[in-house]
A and B are shown apart, each in its own frame.
Chain A
Amino acid sequence: MNALKTLILLIGLAGTSLMADYTTIITKTTPSMNGGKEIFFGTVGDYSQYVSEISKNIAKHGTLGAIDGMSKGAQALAKGFTKEGGNFVGAGAAIGIVVGLLDPYVMSLYEDQQYVLIRADKNGELEAIMFIGDKHPSLSDEEIHKILKNK
């Protein structure tokens, strides 16, 4: 009886995964970026918060010293917001934009399932693999992570 229950449960889980309706999109900060280490996995909203923490630190301290102690991946992202990471036209204004436009962005949390996995190479360039899926049925964090890791 227990075996039958387990079988039904497994069929149900497999069915959920098979029926899940999603798409993945891969982008890179530069076409020459090739592979790298995973530095972030989570919802698009969490990613926005993650980037926001970095930009707020920079805005508060005004220097790259603010990101000492952060992970290499966070530093790679942080450098994108500073002149040290490239001659970014209007960097100060851009940080203002980042901090100011978070709320609507986070709203996407309770809509479709939107996840992102970020990889960084040794040069600080990034690769993003986005997951956009229908919540009916939804996939678990682990299932989505597995899908994105294999892309």
Chain B
Amino acid sequence: MKTIKYFVMVITAAFLFAGCGGSQVKVPAGMNKPTTLHISKEGNVYIFYLWEDVGGFRENKINIEKFGKNFNGIANYGLASGYSYMAMVNENFNNLSGYPINSWKAMYKLMNLPNENNHYNSGFYRYMLAANQPRFKVVFLKERPKGLFVWDLKQLKADTDKYSK
């Protein structure tokens, strides 16, 4: 009986963790990774999120400092790995589908829409607030593809270093 129980527990755990997806990645030398920053990889897509509550529905607002910390981690990881640019490939804002937000300055503005309650149902807010730990999907690039809105990692690092602590 104990064996069956043990078997059921193992299978359940396997199903639960299978949903997390992605393989863990090695932290590149020279990157000072925050302990709460989680990084995994699926194919050529990296997934970044913080083991921290960013607010979500309970606060009905976005915690910009924590988003900044996550984006700073993305910039540091990319630069330490030898990349210069990145494209976001999340469902609601996919730079490879032409989504034009490609800087922290623009992102910051997007997070501070006027009268946020009225914009609560926008795709961006719904995505951001739907999860307390939003996952940012990223494809890193060594060179800037002409005519595509991609993020400059050096600029992103400079803009978000203040959130790194």
Q: Is B5 an interface residue (CB 8 A)?
A: no
Q: Is B62 an interface residue (CB 8 A)?
A: no
User: Which residues of chain A in 70-86 are interfacial with respect to chain B, using CB atoms and an 8 Å cutoff?
Assistant: 76-81, 85-86
**Closest Cβ–Cβ distance, residue B107 to chain A (whole Å):** 9
CA distance A94 to B143 in the complex (A): 14
B28: Cβ under 8 A from any A Cβ: no
Are A88 and B141 touching (Cβ within 8 A)?
yes
Interface residue? B98 (CB, 8 A)? yes
Least CB distance, B82 to chain A, in whole angstroms: 11
Q: Size class of B's contact patch?
A: 35 or more
B residues within 8 A CB of A126?
100, 147, 149
B residues in contact with A81, CB < 8 Å: 96, 145, 148
User: Across the interface, which residues of B come within 8 angstroms of A78, CB to CB?
Assistant: 147
Distance, CA A1 to CA B124, complexed state (A):
47
Q: Is A16 an interface residue, CB under 8 A from the partner?
A: no
CB-based nearest B residue for A93: B44
B92 at the interface (CB under 8 A from A): yes
Query: Cβ of A89 and Cβ of B142 under 8 Å apart?
Result: yes
- Residues in B with CB closer than 8 Å to A21 are 114-115, 118
Given the contacts A94-B139, A126-B147, A52 and B97 also touching, CB distance less than 8 Å: yes
Option from A23, A50, A101, A102 in Cβ contact (under 8 Å) with B89: A101
Indicate if the CB atoms of A80 and B148 lie closer than 8 Å.
Answer: yes
**28 intermolecular pairs with C-beta atoms under 8 Å apart:** A21-B115, A23-B113, A25-B109, A25-B110, A27-B101, A27-B102, A27-B106, A30-B144, A48-B97, A48-B98, A80-B148, A85-B147, A88-B143, A89-B44, A94-B96, A97-B89, A97-B96, A98-B96, A101-B89, A105-B94, A105-B97, A105-B123, A108-B92, A111-B126, A112-B122, A124-B147, A130-B100, A132-B119
